[in-house]
Amino acid sequence: VNVAILGATGAVGKELLELLAERKFPLKNLKLLASTRSAGSKIIFQGQEIVVEAVADSSFDDVDILLASAGGSTSKAWAKKAVAAGAVVIDNSSAFRMDETVPLVVPEINPEAAGKHQGIIANPNCTTILMGVAIYPLHQIQPIKRVVVATYQSASGAGARAMEEAKIQARDILDGKQPLAEVLPYPIAFNLFPHNSPLNDQGYCEEELKMVNETRKIFNAPEIRVTATCVRVPILRAHSETVNLEFAQPFDVEQARELIAAAPGVKLVEDWQSNYFPMPIDATGQDPVLVGRIRQDISHPCGLELWLCGDQIRKGAALNAIQIAELLLEKNLLEVPDSAFSV
């Protein structure tokens, strides 16, 4: 199939390229698109030099799948034009996630939703994906009533420039210099702060509300009560989360451990003797979400606690998008419905 990547020079775009090669995605032609600022740069893919093009109205001719990872405003500007040209758009931004006509897909959880697309499929937020893959196996056995989650989000969530800024800040602090913050609002090296997305009147930031609303949509369970606290931490790559789950009845810890260990996209990491559990350094560059420290909540008879780490750029973004693309091919879902062209 013919594939285009919008945002090819960004951190997720580069990861998409790596995954297309690594997973031997059946490419006929690959087109790399970006802003005019990045146009003309060259990227080597499988030994072939590809020139990055500035995105334009004609960019989507003969494109079967557009992997969009260039931000919400860019997706809003170009996604529907790509659909009108006959492409299926897998969008990594927040632009369409809560649109009722757009499926929000995690292949390990709701692959059937992909078949309902009208030309656009949304990739969920990174923290939502990582948590969802970890807890859905339990939800299938006994529906989750309430989720309390705290996230520890790496610099990679703010892009390649934020990761580089974190390195520079660390060097400056170790050299006794004052760190400068330009990408993120405050220094991230040797520091942490609540997530910097805009706050609503209730004091919740956009990132936290994404976890609330997206989890309900992906699980097709609007009744689940979810509350989140999202924090930026001085980690380069891979997010971590502590998750407290409440069920209607007690959930056997050993059964929970067995279900998570057998679940797709998850790896159980528990060494209680050595107090060794998932860490960002181990999750970096890995496909599975690492889950461990599964235990009974001593404050609630129907509660479980768990800890997870997952690569934000990989499963939290690029890998999930590629898995959706693979699903479209496997299920023969590439055809864009005629109704989409009137959008």
Active-site residues: which are they? 126, 239
Residue 124 DSSP code: P
Residues with Cβ within 8 Å of residue 72, at least 6 apart in sequence: 93, 94, 95
Please answer whether residues 209 and 125 qualify as being in contact, where contact means their C-beta atoms are separated by less than 8 angstroms: no
Count Cβ atoms below 10 Å from residue 126 Cβ, excluding itself. Answer: 27
Tokens of 56: 């334009």
User: How buried is residue 123: exposed, middle or buried, by Cβ count under 10 Å (0-12/13-18/19+)?
Assistant: buried
- Give me the residues paired with residue 60 across strands: none
- Give me the residues paired with residue 151 across strands: 230, 241
Q: Where are the beta strands (DSSP E) in 25-109?
A: 29-34, 42-45, 48-51, 53-54, 65-68, 88-91
Closest by alpha carbon to 13, among 26, 31, 25? 31
* Share of the chain residues as helix, strand and coil, in percent rounded to the nearest 5: 35, 25, 40
Backbone angles phi, psi at 342, to 5 degrees: -85, 0
Please answer whether residues 82 and 63 qualify as being in contact, where contact means their C-beta atoms are separated by less than 8 angstroms: yes
Count how many residues are written for the chain.
Answer: 343
Residues with Cβ within 8 Å of residue 287, at least 6 apart in sequence: 265, 311, 314, 315, 319
Residues with Cβ within 8 Å of residue 197, at least 6 apart in sequence: 205, 206, 207, 230
Residues with Cβ within 8 Å of residue 56, at least 6 apart in sequence: none
